[in-house]
Chains A and B, each alone.
Chain A
Amino acid sequence: MTDHSHQSEGSDAGNEQAVAAAPPAEVAAEETAPGGHGPTHREDERPSVIHQILAGGALMSVLAVVLALLIGGLLIAFADEDTRAASGYFFSRPSDMLSAGWTAMRDAYVAMFRGSVLDWNAPTFAGMIKPFTESMVFSVPLILAGLGIAVGFRAGLFNIGAQGQIIVGAIVAAWLGFAFDMPPVIHLLVAVLGGAIGGAVYAGVAGVLKARFGANEVIVTIMLNYIAVYLIGYILKTPQFNPGRTGQRSPAVSAEATFPHLVPDWLLPNDFRLHWGFVMAVLATVFVWWLLERSTIGFEIRAVGANPAAARTAGMSVGRITIITMLVAGALAGLAASGQVLGTERSLTVGVAASFGFDAITVALLGRSRPWGTFFAGLLFGALKAGGFLMQSLTQTPIDIVLVVQSLIVLLIAAPPLVRAVFRLPSPTGRPRRPRPARTTTEEVTA
Chain B
Amino acid sequence: MKLELQGITKVFGPLVANDHIDLVVEPGEIHALLGENGAGKSTLMNVLYGLYDPDDGQILLDDRPVRFKGPGDAVAAGIGMVHQHFMLVPVFTVAESVALGYEPTGPAGVLKLDEARARVKQISDRFGFDVDPDALIEDLPVGVQQRVEIIKALSRDAKVLILDEPTAVLTPQETDELIGIMGELKEAGTSIVFITHKLREVRAVADRITVIRRGKVVGEARPTSTETELASLMVGRSVNLSVQKSAATPGEAAFRVEGLSVVSPTGAVLVDDISFDVHGGEIMCIAGVQGNGQTELAEVVLGLEEADAGRLTLDGQDLRGRSVKQRLRAGIGFVPEDRSTDGVVASFSIAENLVLDLYDTEPFAKGISMSPARVVANAEQRAEEFDVRYTSVQDPISTLSGGNAQKVVLAREMSRPLRLLVASQPTRGLDVGSIEFVHKRMVAERDNGTPVLIVSTELDEVLNLADRIAVMYRGRIVGIVDVAEENGTAGGVNRDMLGLMMAGVPMDEARTQAAEHHSILGQAYMEEDAQ
Contacts and interface: CB of A to CB of B under 8 A. Distances in A.
Interface of A: 35-37, 39-45, 51, 294-297, 299-300, 302-303, 306-307, 309-317, 429-432, 434-435, 437-440, 442-447
A40 B52 CA distance: 13
Interface stretch (B11-19, B173-181, B249-257): B11-19
A49 to B, nearest CB: 15
Interface in B324-371: 324-325, 327-329, 334, 336, 339-348, 352, 356-357, 359-360, 365, 368-370
B100 A312 contact: no
B38 A42 contact: yes
Nearest to B325: A315
A42 B13 contact: no
Given A37-B46, A42-B402, A295-B369, A313 B88 contact: no
Interface string B41-63: 01100100001110000000000
B398 interface: yes
A444 B71 CA distance: 14
B70 interface: yes
Interface of B: 10, 12-15, 17, 37-38, 42-43, 46, 51-53, 70-72, 75, 83, 85-90, 100-101, 302, 304, 323-325, 327-329, 334, 336, 339-348, 352, 356-357, 359-360, 365, 368-370, 372, 398, 401-402, 405, 429
15 contacts: A37-B46, A39-B10, A39-B12, A43-B339, A51-B347, A296-B365, A296-B368, A296-B369, A306-B345, A310-B345, A313-B342, A313-B357, A429-B13, A430-B12, A431-B13
A307 B71 contact: no
A437 B398 CA distance: 21
A446 B51 contact: no
Contact of A295 (B10, B37, B53, B370): B370
A316 B341 CA distance: 15
Contact of B85 (A36, A40, A302): A36
B408 to A, nearest CB: 12
A157 to B, nearest CB: 16
Contacts, number: 149
Contacts of B328: 314-315
B333 to A, nearest CB: 12
A440 B79 CA distance: 14
A309 B368 CA distance: 22
Contacts of B339: 43
B100 A443 contact: yes
A312 B359 CA distance: 14
Contacts of B360: 296, 299
A301 to B, nearest CB: 12
Contact of A45 (B13, B340, B401): B340
Contact of B356 (A297, A310, A317, A429): A310
Contacts of A35: 51
A296 B370 contact: yes
A102 B401 CA distance: 53
Max count, chain B CB within 10 A of own CB: residue among A39, A51, A442, A443: A39
A165 B328 CA distance: 37
Contacts of A296: 359-360, 365, 368-370
